[in-house]
Amino acid sequence: MYLAAIGKLKPGPEKTLFDKYAVRLLSPLKVIEIPEKKGSTQDIRKKESEALLAAIAPNSYMVALDEGGQEWSSIAFADRLAVWQAHSHELGFVIGGTEGLTKPVLQRANAVMSLGKMTWPHFLVRALLVEQLYRVQCIHQGHPYHKTGRPI
């Protein structure tokens, strides 16, 4: 499994949080960091999109993280992840930079996923995603990390 993302995650709270969950994954998450591009908004979006598309293996099942994507509960995400992994040679996630993802990247995606309607900093999205991947692992193992239901 891989994560292709714009920007280099530097030491700080976001990296600490990302690392906290990434080390817990039984299968290592390969992280492909693509340098942030410079120029006009249009140039940045075009260059970053081209770099993301070039980093993605043609035969991989790609899930793009975008605020316009489908929202799932953790249980539903666990179910989907199991299906994606069963039917693909390689599974990957893509996170854009501050200018977001372009139409070509979203069209290449096999699925588009949202972490909610709020806008999140792209470095924080990495931490949120890896925590959910760890949660899915726990759900599949029957580990008590994930609490089903709400308190009364």
Q: Is 65 annotated as a binding residue?
A: yes
Mean pLDDT (10-residue bins), the chain, 152 residues:
95 96 95 95 94 92 95 94 89 93 95 92 93 94 70 53
148 is an annotated ligand-binding site residue: no
Q: Is 119 a known ligand-binding residue?
A: yes
Ligand-binding site membership of 117 (annotated) = yes
DSSP letters of 14-82? Answer: HHHHHHHHHTT-SS--EEEEEPPP-SSHHHHHHHHHHHHHHHS-TTSEEEEEEEEEE---HHHHHHHHH
Describe the crossing of helices 74-86 and 122-141 by its angle, rounded to 10 degrees.
80
pLDDT tens profile 92-127:
999 999 888 999 999 999 999 999 988 888 899 999
116 is in an annotated binding site: yes
- Would you say 18 and 62 are in contact if contact means Cβ atoms under 8 Å apart? no
User: What pLDDT does residue 149 have?
Assistant: 63
Q: Consult the annotation and say whether 133 binds a ligand.
A: no
Domain 2-141, CATH class in plain words: alpha beta
The domain locations on the chain are 2-141
